[in-house]
Amino acid sequence: MARNEALYEAVLKGKRKDVAVLVQEDIDANVNVESILMDSMVPAMSEIGDRFSRNEAYVPEMLIAARAMQAGLDLLDPLLQEAGHEPIGKVAIGTVKGDLHDIGKNLVAMMLKGAGFEVMDLGVDCDVDKYKEAVEGGAQVILLSALLTTTMPYMKEVVSSLSGCGAKILIGGAPVTQDYANEIGADGYSDDANTAVKATKDALGIAA
């Protein structure tokens, strides 16, 4: 059960203003900042992700929950850094070269932040060099997104170029399949934002 049930529910229902108010109240009351995040906000994002996987919630609900979560993170981030809070991992995500679609990427990025990862959002139309820079910047997992079948082949180029770099490479997007991931040698695949979080945790050996 979440420590702050009101905050948990506010994130779950996507009430951005309520989340900001409740987080600020906890901060003002000197509640441990990691507890605010890990005991109420992260469990709420996990629940909305599970509901999505069970077809009990849809992309709009996940988006508004993620944005509500972000309203709380905006207040917590400086304090978490001050307190020396360590993210559970550092990842980078970007839509591959030639593809300008970002709704799915943005949702995955927000879900990963909600799960406790430090996320480097590389944006859209990302070439190999951009992903290499992310690895050099400490990214342990690189997530490639594509919405167009015409841009999928660039995923293979990225995977090939990053072979042996030490980071895990995961792919996803509407036309992408597990078979394609296997074919190009990617380390994993996800078909939605919730499974992307699980796949990222699996890639790093983090218990779900």
Q: What is the mean pLDDT of residues 21-32?
A: 94
The pTM (predicted TM-score) of the whole model is 0.78
Torsion 72-146-57-40 (CA) sign: negative
Contact 93, 143 (CB under 8 A): yes
**Is the per-residue pLDDT at 90 higher than 50?**
yes
Residue 128 confidence (pLDDT): 97
Identify the residue with better confidence: 126 or 85. Answer: 126
pLDDT given for residue 193 in this prediction? 83
> Please, what is the Cα angle at 149 between 145 and 150, to 5 degrees?
100
User: Coil, helix or strand for 92?
Assistant: strand
pLDDT, residue 3, reads 63
Q: How many CA atoms lie within 13 A of 38 on its CB side?
A: 12
Residue 1 pLDDT > 50, yes or no?
no
pLDDT at 200 over 50: yes
CA angle 78, 82, 88 (to 5 degrees): 80
Q: How far is CA 118 from CA 8, 9, 63, in A?
A: 21, 24, 19
For the chain, how many helices (H) and strands (E)?
10, 5
b/e per residue 20-57 (b: at least 16 CB within 10 A): bbbbeebeeeebebbebbbbbbbbbbbbbbebbeeeeb
Strands 168-172 and 141-145: parallel
Summary mean pLDDT of the chain: 91
Model confidence band, residue 161 (pLDDT cutoffs 50, 70, 90): very high
- pLDDT given at position 87: 87
Query: What structural domains and CATH numbers belong to the chain?
Result: 5-82 (1.10.1240.10), 90-203 (3.40.50.280)
Lowest-pLDDT range of 2-6, 39-43, 70-74, 152-156: 2-6
208 band by pLDDT with thresholds 50, 70 and 90: low
Confidence at residue 2, expressed as pLDDT on a 0 to 100 scale: 53
Q: Give the pLDDT confidence of 38-80 residue by residue, as tens digits.
A: 889 988 988 998 898 888 988 889 889 989 999 998 999 888 8
The rounded percent of the chain whose pLDDT value lies above 90 is: 65
